[in-house]
Each structure stands twice: as C-alpha cells, then as structure tokens.
C-alpha cells in the first residue's frame, strides 16, 4: 500500500506513520517527493490491511499497490522514474547510456584496446565478463580473478565504470572491488539467494531477463534486490526463447514499453546476445532506442573473428562510433538526452 502524505506533513508525522507501519510488522519505504512524501508499506496482505491510517495526522490518503512486486512498481513512485548515477553516467529517466565491451576479458591487450575504442566511440560504461556462464562446461569459463584485475586496470586507464557479471556469491567481495555495476546474467535471474546478497551490497545491479522468463518474473527478481534496500536496479531485455529458429533468441522489443509502464526502473536492451549475429545488432539497437529503451549493451571486439567467445555477434570496435551516432539520433527522437561523460 502507498501512504500519500499531505504536502504540509512534518518530518515527525512521517516518522510516526513509518512507526505505525513497522509496528504492524510491515516494512516502510519512504520516498521524499518535491511536493509530498509517500510511504510504501510493504508486507503481507494482512499486515497492510490492518493499518488503519484514516485520520492519522499528516496522512492524506492511501492507495493499494495491486501488483505482486511493490518496490519495483510504477504505482509506488507515482510515475517518477528512477535515474541511476554510475560515477556521473546516468541511466534512466531522460538519460540514454551505452554499455559496451568484449564478451569476456581475454587478455590485457585486447581489453585495453577495446576499452579505449569504446570510450572514444562515446560509450559510457565498459562491460566484460571475468566469470562467464557457458552452456558447455568445456567452453572457456573466464579468466576469473585475473580478469577482474585487468578490468581494474582498464578502468584506471580509461576512467570508464565497469559492468561485470557475478555468478557465484563466493566471488562477491572480489567482484565488488572492481564492479561499478554488478551484472546478473539471464541464467541467474531466478537465483534468489544471489539476488538477495547483491541487494545487500547497495551496488547498482543490472538484471538480465531469463531465457524463458516473463516480464513479471523479471520484475519479481528486481524486487528481491530492492527489498534489501538497494534502489539501483537496471533491467535488461536480452531476448527470450520462442519457437523461431531463424535467429538465436527473439528480442522482445514490446517488453520495453510494457516494462516502462509497469516499473520506474531503467530498461536497457542487449541485442548482441539476442541475435547471436553481428549483422542484426545495429538495426535492433535502433529499434530498442525507438521503443524507448534507456540504453543498450553491446558486445564489441577489435577483431571479432579472433574472439574467444561470442565472436560472431560482436561489433567491430572501429565501427562502433558511427553506429552509436545513429542510435543516439533515434534515442533523441524518442525523447532522450545523451548520458554525460565526466
């Protein structure tokens, strides 16, 4: 339930309403708005139903949140959008951001070359996996700790914030040393203990939609992180499995406007993993921007034919700049500002 406070409600009255929510065994989530504050009362149905807030000083009215996800729901924020600031790069609201980099960190030279190329092309964040979820246990699994060390070096050299995947909670502390955004991959979207632990860190998180997950399941995954007090969740549409075999996954572009209706969280799109083919990536980036995405995440490599993994889908680093300019034009038409590099 959402408790909408009166414009003139005092901080004491807000504190008293919070205390009442907590006394009923529910959690209170205060959102201080420009005009009025709103308290999200999150708990099970009985706890919230027992809250009798009519006539409580400072309370204007209450609105039930009908969705199963509460903190992720746009009903909670009254249409205000979450903007995530990653070291000066903003994602969400009117901001559009590009995350780019190789599938995996493969060597110092390739990573540094890619990092400089994507920065010069105007991308805002560098992504690279040190821990890779691979379908086959015989495929390259990532450089692990050495990969993290190289990412730290790339960050130092370029100033770009780092997005990198966490697969196992045992690696959390190491990943936290370098990740500005923790990526939770499609296969981890329903790893609820991992979501909870990442929520506790307070570090921005990008959650990729599971291969066969519904939009609602994606939002419930976000809710696990938000529930731990971490507000910085980015959702990523990366294609879902359908009966179509003409390409790797079906990029669900309709999920963008639908998610943006249901949640205040930023929504970005990964056409690289959806397509599995480089030639489809540029048009799907444009389509994502046109559909209102808050950003894109694309795989980029200086020499994709020699990439250790996902070579066929990686954009050539020297083609990124021209491609991004076109995406930015579409994003601007869709009402976005470009993220500001610092």
Q: In the complex, which residues of this chain contact Mn ion (CB under 5 A)?
A: 103, 310
CB atoms within 10 A of CB 64: 12
* Alpha carbons within 13 A on the beta-carbon side of 93: 13
Q: Which region among 21-29, 112-120, 179-187, 333-341 touches ligand PEP (by CB under 6 A)?
A: 179-187
Please report which residue ranges of the chain form alpha helices under DSSP H.
11-23, 45-49, 74-77, 108-120, 145-158, 172-178, 192-201, 215-227, 255-262, 271-275, 281-290, 320-333
- The span of 31-39, 118-126, 185-193, 219-227 binding ligand PEP (CB under 6 A) equals 185-193
- Kind of pairing between the strands at 181-184 and 295-301: unpaired
Task: State the burial class of residue 170 (Cβ atoms within 10 Å of its Cβ: 0-12, 13-18, 19+).
Answer: exposed
Nearest of 308, 251, 303, 256 to residue 282 by alpha carbon: 251
Interface with ligand PEP by CB under 6 A: which range of 182-190, 214-222, 285-293, 333-341?
182-190
Closest alpha carbon to 142 in 180, 109, 107, 115 = 107
- Closest contact distance (angstroms) between CB of 236 and ligand PEP is 7
Taking the complex as a whole, the smallest distance from the CB of residue 215 to ligand PEP amounts, in Å, to 16
Q: Residue 103 interacts with ligand PEP (CB under 6 A)?
A: yes
Indicate the residue among 5 and 267 with the shorter CB distance to ligand PEP: 267
* The two structure tokens encoding residue 95: 């901001």
For the purposes of burial, counting CB atoms within 10 Å of the CB of 138, is it exposed (0-12), middle (13-18) or buried (19 or more)? exposed
User: Applying CB under 6 A, which of residues 133, 159, 276, 292 lies at the interface with ligand PEP?
Assistant: 133
Give the one entry of Mn ion, ligand PEP, none that residue 336 binds, where binding means its C-beta sits below a cut-off of 5 to 8 angstroms depending on kind: none
Q: Which stretch binds ligand PEP (CB under 6 A): 180-188, 260-268, 280-288, 311-319?
A: 180-188
For ligand PEP, which residue of 43, 129, 204, 302 counts as binding (CB under 6 A)? 129
Q: Given the rule CB under 6 A, which of 18-26, 109-117, 135-143, 184-192 is the region that contacts ligand PEP?
A: 184-192
Q: Which of 186, 240, 275, 298 touches ligand PEP (CB under 6 A)?
A: 186
Q: Give the interface size with ligand PEP as a residue count (CB under 6 A).
A: 9
Question: Among residue numbers 261 through 280, which ones bind ligand PEP (CB under 6 A)?
Answer: 273
Number of Cβ within 10 Å of residue 30's Cβ equals 15
Query: What residues numbered 197-256 form the site for ligand PEP, per CB under 6 A?
Result: 208, 238
Instruction: Evaluate whether 118 touches 160 at the Cβ level (below 8 Å).
Output: yes
Q: Which parts of this chain interact with ligand PEP (CB under 6 A)?
A: 103, 129, 133, 185-187, 208, 238, 273
């Amino acid at each position: 339930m959402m408790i909408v406070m009166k414009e003139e409600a005092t901080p004491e009255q807000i504190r008293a309403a919070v205390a009442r929510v907590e006394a009923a065994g529910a959690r209170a989530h205060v959102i201080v708005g420009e005009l009025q504050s709103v308290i999200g009362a999150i708990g099970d149905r009985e706890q919230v139903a027992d809250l009798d807030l009519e006539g409580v000083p400072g309370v204007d009215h209450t609105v039930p949140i009908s969705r199963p996800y509460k903190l992720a729901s746009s009903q909670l924020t009254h249409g205000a959008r979450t903007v995530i600031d990653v070291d000066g790069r903003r994602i969400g609201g009117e901001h559009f951001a590009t995350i780019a980099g190789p599938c995996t960190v493969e060597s110092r030279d390739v990573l540094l070359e890619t990092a400089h190329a994507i920065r010069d092309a105007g991308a805002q964040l560098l992504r690279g996996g040190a821990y890779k979820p691979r379908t086959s246990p015989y495929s390259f699994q990532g450089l692990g700790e050495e990969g993290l060390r190289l990412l730290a070096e790339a960050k130092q050299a370029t100033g770009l914030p780092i997005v990198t995947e966490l697969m196992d909670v045992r690696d959390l502390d190491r990943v936290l040393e370098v990740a500005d955004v923790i990526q939770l991959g499609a296969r981890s979207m329903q790893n609820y203990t991992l979501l909870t632990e990442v929520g506790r860190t307070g570090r921005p998180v990008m959650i990729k939609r599971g291969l066969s997950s519904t939009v609602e399941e994606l939002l419930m995954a976000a809710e696990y992180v938000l529930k731990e007090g971490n507000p910085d969740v980015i959702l990523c549409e990366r294609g879902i499995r359908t009966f179509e075999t003409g390409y790797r996954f079906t990029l669900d572009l309709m999920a963008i406007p639908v998610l943006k209706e249901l949640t205040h969280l930023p929504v970005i799109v990964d056409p690289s993993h959806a397509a599995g083919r480089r030639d489809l990536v540029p048009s799907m980036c444009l389509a994502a921007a046109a559909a209102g995405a808050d950003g894109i995440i694309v795989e980029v490599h200086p020499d994709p034919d020699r990439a250790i993994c996902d070579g066929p889908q990686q954009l050539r680093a020297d083609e990124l700049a021209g491609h991004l300019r076109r995406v930015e034009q579409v994003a601007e038409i869709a009402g976005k500002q470009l993220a500001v590099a610092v």
